[in-house]
Amino acid sequence: MRLSFYPGCSLEGMANDYARSIDAVFRNLGIDLVEIEDWSCCGATAAHSLSQTMSVLLPARNLAAAEKLGHDIVSPCANCFNRLRFSQNMIKKKVFDIPWPVTGDIRVHDMTRFLAEPARIKSIKERILRPLNGLRVVCYYGCQMVRPPKITGYTDYENPQTMDRIAATAGAQVIDWSYKATCCGASVGIARKEIGESLTRRILQKAQQAGAEAIVVSCPLCQSNLDMIQKDRSKRHTPVFYFTELLRLSFAEHVDPKWFKMHFTDPVPLLRAKGLLS
Amino acid sequence: MQNIISDPDQARKHDSGKERKLIGDRGDYFLNRMEGETGANISACYQCERCTNSCPVSHFMDIKPHQVIHYVQLGWREELLKSSTIWICLSCEMCTTYCPNEVDVAEIINHLRNMAAHSSITPKEKSLAVFHQTFLEVLQKSGRVNEFRLMNAYYLKPDILHERIKNKALKEDLLLGITMLRKGRLKLFTPKSRAIKEIKRVYSQTRGEIV
pLDDT digits (tens, 9 = 90+) for B120-153: 999 999 999 999 999 999 999 989 999 999 999 9
Identify residue A264 by its one-letter amino acid code.
F
In this prediction, residue A66 carries a pLDDT of: 94
Rg (CA), chain A: 18
B95, B117, B139 - which closes a domain: B117
* Domain match, B32 and B52 both: yes
CA A215 to CA A25: how far, in whole Å? 19
- 8 Å CB contact between A140 and A217: yes
**Domain total of chain B:** 2
* Residue of chain B whose alpha carbon sits nearest to that of A202: B56
For residue A37, name the pLDDT band (cuts at 50, 70, 90): confident
In chain A, residues with a C-beta closer than 8 Å to the C-beta of B184 are 16, 261-262
In this prediction, residue A271 carries a pLDDT of: 92
* Domain match, B107 and B132 both: no
pLDDT at B7 over 60: no
ipTM given for this complex? 0.93
DSSP labels for A233-264? Answer: --S----EEEHHHHHHHHH-SS--GGGGTT-S
Residue B11 within a domain: no
For helices B105-117 and B25-38, what crossing angle results, to 10°?
110
Residue B83 within a domain: yes
* Domain match, B153 and B181 both: yes
Residue B160 within a domain: yes
B75, B97, B117 - which closes a domain: B117
With a pLDDT cut of 70, the percent of chain B lying above it is: 87
* Residue of chain A whose alpha carbon sits nearest to that of B148: A13
Mean confidence (pLDDT) of chain A: 92
Q: Which residues pair with A220 in a beta bridge?
A: none
* Domain match, B24 and B103 both: yes
In this prediction, residue B205 carries a pLDDT of: 85
Whether omega for the bond prior to residue B65 falls within 30 degrees of 0, making it cis, is: no
Q: Which residue has the higher pLDDT, B180 or A231?
A: B180
Nearest CA-CA distance, residue B2 and chain A, Å: 47
| Cβ–Cβ gap B199/A147 under 8 Å | no
State pLDDT tens for residues A59-107. 999 999 999 999 999 999 999 999 999 999 999 999 898 989 999 899 9
* Domain match, B26 and B113 both: yes
Where b means 16+ CB within 10 Å and e means fewer, B142-151 reads: bbbbbbbbbb
| Cβ–Cβ gap B110/A53 under 8 Å | no
| Cβ–Cβ gap A14/B198 under 8 Å | no
In this prediction, residue B25 carries a pLDDT of: 55
Nearest CA-CA distance, residue A196 and chain B, Å: 9
* Domain match, B26 and B107 both: yes
pLDDT at B5 over 60: no
In chain B, residues with a C-beta closer than 8 Å to the C-beta of A182 are 56
Give chain A's largest Cα–Cα span.
58
- Domain containing B139: what range? 126-206
Q: Tell which of A50, A158, A178 to mutate to test the B interface (max B CBs under 10 Å).
A: A50
Q: Can you give the CATH number for the domain in which B32 is found?
A: 1.10.1060.10
CA A187 to CA A172: how far, in whole Å? 31
Interacting residues of A15 by C-beta distance below 8 A, sequence separation 6+: A220, A223, A224, A242
pLDDT at B27 over 60: no
* Domain match, B146 and B198 both: yes
* Domain match, B79 and B133 both: no
In this prediction, residue A232 carries a pLDDT of: 72
**B134 three-class SS:** helix
| Cβ–Cβ gap B90/A47 under 8 Å | no
CA B52 to CA B67: how far, in whole Å? 9
* Domain match, B106 and B154 both: no
Residue B110 within a domain: yes
Residue B12 within a domain: no
Nearest CA-CA distance, residue B89 and chain A, Å: 8
For residue B1, name the pLDDT band (cuts at 50, 70, 90): very low
Torsion of the alpha carbons at A108, A109, A110 and A115, rounded to the nearest 10? -170
Hey, what domains does chain A have and what are their CATH numbers?
2-112 (1.20.1050.140), 128-273 (3.40.50.11810)
Q: How many CB atoms lie within 10 A of CB B156?
A: 10
State pLDDT tens for residues A41-57. 999 999 999 999 999 99
In chain B, residues with a C-beta closer than 8 Å to the C-beta of A199 are 56-57
Residue B69 within a domain: yes
B82, B117, B152 - which closes a domain: B117
Measured CA to CA in angstroms, residue A30 lies from A1, A106, A134, A198, B6 at distances of 7, 22, 28, 41, 76
CA A33 to CA A37: how far, in whole Å? 12
C-alpha count within 13 angstroms, C-beta hemisphere, residue B44: 11
Identify residue B195 by its one-letter amino acid code.
A
* Domain match, B106 and B157 both: no
Q: Which residues pair with A216 in a beta bridge?
A: A139, A241
Counted across chains A and B, CB pairs separated by less than 8 A come out at: 162
CA A22 to CA B10: how far, in whole Å? 68
* Domain match, B177 and B200 both: yes
Say what the pTM is: 0.91
